[in-house]
Amino acid sequence: MKFRRIMVIGVLVISMLLSAACAQQGKPKGQGTETAKGAGKALSGVINIDGSSTVYPITAAVAEEFAKLNKDVKVSVGIAGTGGGMKKFYAGQIDICDASRPIKQEEIDAAKKNGIEYTEFKVAFDGLSVVVNKGNDWVKSLTVDQLKAMWEPDSKIKTWKDMDASWP
């Protein structure tokens, strides 16, 4: 039930972002507009979205539904990754950046330098599952600290024995 509620909220937020991006086409940066739909006019234009591969499925689904209701709007959704999407966003190349993390300070600074205003919305949370091959009979459990130690940048852990001396 909670997952469904998050998905519905995510779809609504992305729909609002699509409408807002479309309504902003051709407007000077920083000026608010009424959404064309609210003014009784059909939406038209192009909306470019890029970024996180984990957010992509939600965005692609919403973009498809949005396009069905707004035939004169072309929505492009790419998968450049969060960092790649952010670079395109603060360079002014895309309207919406899908990100699987909060915006970093250097990205905030670059956006500000380029006159890009933004609003962050939490659409969903990633869920991770850690599974161990059934042939692995020595690992009964792993802690979050152990997982972090394995996957952090420049980790020294290369084998199971590096994690626990009693493991092969």
pLDDT in tens, 45-81: 999 999 999 999 999 999 999 999 999 999 999 999 9
Q: Mean pLDDT: which of 18-22, 25-29, 104-108, 143-147 is highest?
A: 104-108
Residue 97: enclosing H or E segment and its boundaries? strand 96-98
Strand partners, 98: 51
What secondary structure, in 3-state letters, does 3-50 show?
Answer: HHHHHHHHHHHHHHHHHHHHHCCCCCCCCCCCCCCCCCCCCCEEEEEE
pLDDT per residue over 84-141, tens digit each? 999 999 999 999 999 999 999 999 999 999 999 999 988 887 777 888 888 898 888 8
Q: Which of 57, 24, 77 is nearest to 126 (CA)?
A: 57
pLDDT value at position 42?
84
Quick check: 162 pLDDT over 60? yes
Which comes out higher in pLDDT, residue 159 or 8?
A: 159
Do the strands 96-98 and 73-77 form a parallel or antiparallel pair, or are they unpaired?
Answer: unpaired
